[in-house]
Amino acid sequence: MSMIRFSKDHEWIRVEDGKGVIGITDYAQAQLGDVVFVELPEMGATLMKGDEAAVVESVKAASELYAPVSGEVSALNQALVDDPALANSQPMDDGWFFEITLNDLTELDELLDDEAYEAYLAELG
Amino acid sequence: MTDCGTTTAPKLLETPLNALHREMGGQMVAFAGYEMPVQFPMGIKGEHLHCRQKAGLFDVSHMGQAMLDPINPEDDIARLFEELVPGAIATLKPGQMRYSLLLDDTGGILDDLMITRRADRENGLFIVVNAGPRLGDFAHIRSRLAGRARLSLCDDRALLALQGPDASDVLAAIIPACRDLLFMEALWTSLDGLDLIISRSGYTGEDGFEISLPAAHAESFARRLLADERVAPIGLGARDSLRLEAGLCLYGQDLSPEITPVEADLLWAIPKARRDRADFPGAGRILGQIAEGPARKRVGISPDDRTIARDGTAIYSPDGTQKLGIITSGGFGPTVNAPVAMGLIDAKAATPGTDIALMVRGKLRKAHVKALPFVTQNYVRKSSKPKQG
């Protein structure tokens, strides 16, 4: 059973068996515009919740992806590095950034579920 | 994600196309005191490629348009204006246009501008300056030519740019005479009672036109151009990536009062006759730099990987021991499908091919000096063969 959670910084994390796959939301990619470069964290790096984990460069500007939870980086999406436009075309699927092995599953409770994220987006207008 | 939403500050000026931009889904941002579209739903990359492949319509009405006339009709206004710029203005024929630079007394660049000798009267200039510095430019011109020239702002006129390989076919369907213009030539004409100034010029590296027209009719004229399926509206985002790929300078980044034309590698804008006369502002310093070579120079820069180095990025020697300069413009070039940049660099590292390093997010990244432009400029000059099709 996987579950998906969202951060207010517009990252998503899909968690299964203590591992979470992380990416940016459709809202984020639309705000950024065409993504042309992605820099991922080092494999095996230890990230604390809120750490700058990856860089997303769009034609407009550079933005950071912050770790929504703490843990160790356990997989990287090389396909995204090769074709950064995946972050625009399939932000929630093939456009994932990296996988993290979570230290503390209770950190997920501080994130938003589907419904809460939708409500948060509605507030942003 | 960091918040990258754009907010619009109050009290911004609007161009005559503001409502049309909104109707077309333009994402509006503050730029040089104006509310302007940074992109349309096609997106910056799509708009950029569309302009290079077909035709793009730009609203550049925020730029400052003005007419300059001599107070004493015996004076040639073009000769007077040479006191402010290093270009050959006096030799312009009616309807001929020149890119030049407003210089301060130390040879620093106050702005870059387009100067056209009017074709509709004997002794007048039409000038177009950048939006940001326009008020300072106009004050400078008025003060330097006080009592000798009259500057009239064209606040009631809009300025559109139609750029791209299809621009000439699109515009000729409305104004056939535009086909006869060569790059940097302008014509004064009228259409349904509207007076138009059309020049074959632009800032994308493509063939194209700039159209000055009465503000009240700008929207209907723009709609007429946009009705052609080859034409798409283009925002400031793609305007920037197009000019950067074409190796063209942006005032405020690549050009400033701290930079001379020699450092900016714009020597072609100072013809021999002006150098010989040494009668332009800052001539002593500029001619000295020409003779001895400047200490630093504007160059093209290509990062070796796909890292984007934006303006302000520090340039180092490959081993990181020596700071060599700074990136003045940088971004992604959709046509070359790679990051592109320009920067001011130590003259001894300015040769194309020189290996350098860029400090991006705390890491040194390999790059090299690259000859400008990044894309071929497709201007229609005298020697050009007639276009196919």
Residue B331 clears pLDDT 70, i.e. is over it: yes
The answer on B233 and B133 residing in a single domain is yes
Asked if the structure places residue B1 within a domain, the reply is: no
Distance (Å, rounded) from C-alpha B310 to C-alpha A62? 9
The answer on B318 and B257 residing in a single domain is no
Distance (Å, rounded) from C-alpha B78 to C-alpha B92? 8
Distance (Å, rounded) from C-alpha A3 to C-alpha A11? 14
The answer on B194 and B138 residing in a single domain is yes
Whole-Å CA distances, A20 to A80, B137, B207:
17, 57, 51
And the tokens for B266? 């714009």
Q: Does A105 touch chain B (CB under 8 A)?
A: no
Mutate to test the interface with B, among A8, A36, A92, A124 (most CBs of B within 10 A): A36
Whether the Cβ atoms of residue B251 and residue B266 lie closer than 8 Å to each other: no
Residue B318 clears pLDDT 90, i.e. is over it: yes
Q: Positive or negative CA dihedral for B63, B64, B69, B70?
A: negative
Distance (Å, rounded) from C-alpha A30 to C-alpha A87? 10
Q: For residue B345, give the CATH number of its domain.
A: 2.40.30.110
Mean pLDDT, all residues of chain B: 95
Cβ pair B1:A36 closer than 8 A: no
| Chain B residues close to A29, C-beta within 8 Å | none
Angle ∠(A34,B131,B263) on CA atoms, nearest 5: 85
Residue B385 clears pLDDT 60, i.e. is over it: no
The answer on B265 and B276 residing in a single domain is yes
pLDDT (mean) for B135-147: 98
Backbone angles phi, psi at B258, to 5 degrees: -85, -5
Structural domain harbouring B251: 8-292
Residue B242 clears pLDDT 60, i.e. is over it: yes
Residue B126 clears pLDDT 80, i.e. is over it: yes
Report the domain count for chain B: 2
DSSP string of B228-274, one letter each residue: STTEEE--HHHHHHHHHHTT---BTTTB-TTS-TTTTT-GGGS-HHH
Condensed to tens digits (0 to 9), the pLDDT of residues B267-305 reads 999 999 999 999 999 999 999 999 999 999 999 999 998
* Interface predicted TM-score (ipTM) over 0.90: no
Asked if the structure places residue B389 within a domain, the reply is: no
Residue A60 clears pLDDT 90, i.e. is over it: no
The answer on B31 and B154 residing in a single domain is yes
Cβ pair A60:B38 closer than 8 A: yes
Asked if the structure places residue B2 within a domain, the reply is: no
Outline where A13-75 has alpha helix (H): 26-32
Asked if the structure places residue B80 within a domain, the reply is: yes
> CB neighbours of A120 closer than 8 A, spacing ≥ 6?
A6, A8, A112
pLDDT (mean) for B35-58: 97
Distance (Å, rounded) from C-alpha B6 to C-alpha B317? 36
- Identity (one letter) of the amino acid at B217? H
Alpha-carbon distance B38 to nearest alpha carbon in chain A (angstroms): 9
| Chain B residues close to A28, C-beta within 8 Å | 1
Asked if the structure places residue B382 within a domain, the reply is: no
Mapped onto helix, strand or coil, the DSSP state of residue A24 is: strand
The answer on B331 and B182 residing in a single domain is no
Q: Are strands B231-233 and B55-59 parallel, antiparallel or unpaired?
A: parallel
The answer on B301 and B263 residing in a single domain is no
Asked if the structure places residue B341 within a domain, the reply is: yes
pLDDT (mean) for B348-370: 97
pLDDT (mean) for B243-251: 98
| Chain A residues close to B8, C-beta within 8 Å | none
The answer on B262 and B195 residing in a single domain is yes
Check residue B122 and give its pLDDT: 81
Q: For residue B204, give the CATH number of its domain.
A: 3.30.1360.120
Work out how many CB contacts closer than 8 A connect A with B: 66
Where residue B389 falls among pLDDT bands split at 50, 70, 90?
very low
The answer on B329 and B281 residing in a single domain is no
Residue B80 clears pLDDT 90, i.e. is over it: yes
Where residue B5 falls among pLDDT bands split at 50, 70, 90?
very low
Outline where B26-86 has alpha helix (H): 44-53, 77-81
Nearest to B81 by CA among B39, B29, B34, B116: B116
Distance (Å, rounded) from C-alpha B121 to C-alpha B36? 33
Residue B250 clears pLDDT 70, i.e. is over it: yes
Asked if the structure places residue B384 within a domain, the reply is: no
Condensed to tens digits (0 to 9), the pLDDT of residues B192-223 reads 999 999 999 999 999 999 999 999 999 999 99
For chain B, what percent of residues have pLDDT higher than 70? Answer: 96
Asked if the structure places residue B211 within a domain, the reply is: yes
The answer on B252 and B304 residing in a single domain is no
pLDDT (mean) for A72-79: 97
Q: Which fold has domain A3-120?
A: OB fold (Dihydrolipoamide Acetyltransferase, E2P) (2.40.50)
Residues 305-334 of B with CB under 8 A from A: 306-308, 310, 331-332, 334
Alpha-carbon distance A15 to nearest alpha carbon in chain B (angstroms): 19
The answer on B153 and B25 residing in a single domain is yes
